[in-house]
């Protein structure tokens, strides 16, 4: 096989894989992802291998909602973590305030962006603040076109 034939074959195979990958991404956003009831697992033991005890896991439901512009990604909050000096460290967090805009569980949404912060703090009137070690997603409700930020556990886009 000459150099031109080999070059053409490599380009053709590369284009085939590129078009197939892009086609999959486009198809998934058209049909959308399902909005799930967001949860927060406290005292999670299921990651601890053989000593896992799912019965000891405490699962709390978070509000099925989104916030229009709640993200304050440069905010640093204390996070209890064992550091060699024994102090708590501060981590970047997204701040959500208020009750947000309710979303029905099962609604089709499109994921637009992931937040840069990997922790969130939720402050709602009359409730204690909730801080959790995962980020937020910016979503668009396909049926209405509304956009907002919601919890990472609301959309399981890794599975689809």
Mean pLDDT of the chain: 76
Mean pLDDT to the nearest integer, 31-38: 90
Tens of pLDDT, residue by residue over 50-61, are 555 666 778 889
In whole angstroms, give the CA distance from residue 107 to residue 158.
17
pTM for this model (two decimals): 0.66
Q: Where is average pLDDT lowest: 1-5, 25-29, 84-88, 154-158?
A: 25-29
Query: How many of the other CB atoms lie within 10 Å of CB of 148?
Result: 22
Phi/psi at 72 (nearest 5 deg)?
-120, 85
Smallest CA-to-CA distance from 145 within 107, 117, 113 is with 107
- Structural tokens at position 86: 């024994």
Per-residue confidence (pLDDT) for residue 27, from 0 to 100: 41
List Cα–Cα distances, 95 to 69, 76, 100, in angstroms: 10, 10, 12
Smallest CA-to-CA distance from 95 within 124, 114, 75 is with 75
Helix, strand, or coil (residue 36): coil
Phi/psi at 142 (nearest 5 deg)?
-65, -40
User: Please, are residues 115 and 71 in contact by the beta-carbon 8 Å criterion?
Assistant: yes
Contacts of 19 (CB under 8 A, 6+ apart): none
């Amino acid at each position: 096989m000459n150099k031109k034939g080999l070059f053409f074959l490599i380009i053709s195979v590369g284009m085939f894989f590129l078009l197939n990958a892009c086609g999959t991404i486009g198809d998934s956003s058209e049909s959308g992802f399902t909005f799930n009831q967001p949860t927060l697992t406290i005292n999670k033991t299921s990651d601890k291998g053989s000593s896992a005890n799912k019965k000891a896991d405490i699962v709390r439901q978070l509000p099925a909602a989104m916030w229009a512009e709640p993200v304050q990604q440069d905010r640093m909050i204390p996070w209890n973590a064992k550091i060699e000096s024994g102090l708590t460290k501060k981590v970047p967090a997204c701040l959500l305030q208020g009750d947000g805009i309710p979303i029905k569980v099962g609604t089709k949404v499109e994921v637009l962006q992931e937040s840069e912060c990997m922790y969130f703090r939720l402050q709602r009137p009359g409730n204690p603040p909730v801080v959790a070690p995962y980020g937020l997603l910016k979503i668009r409700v396909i049926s209405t076109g509304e956009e907002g930020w919601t919890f990472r556990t609301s959309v399981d886009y890794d599975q689809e």
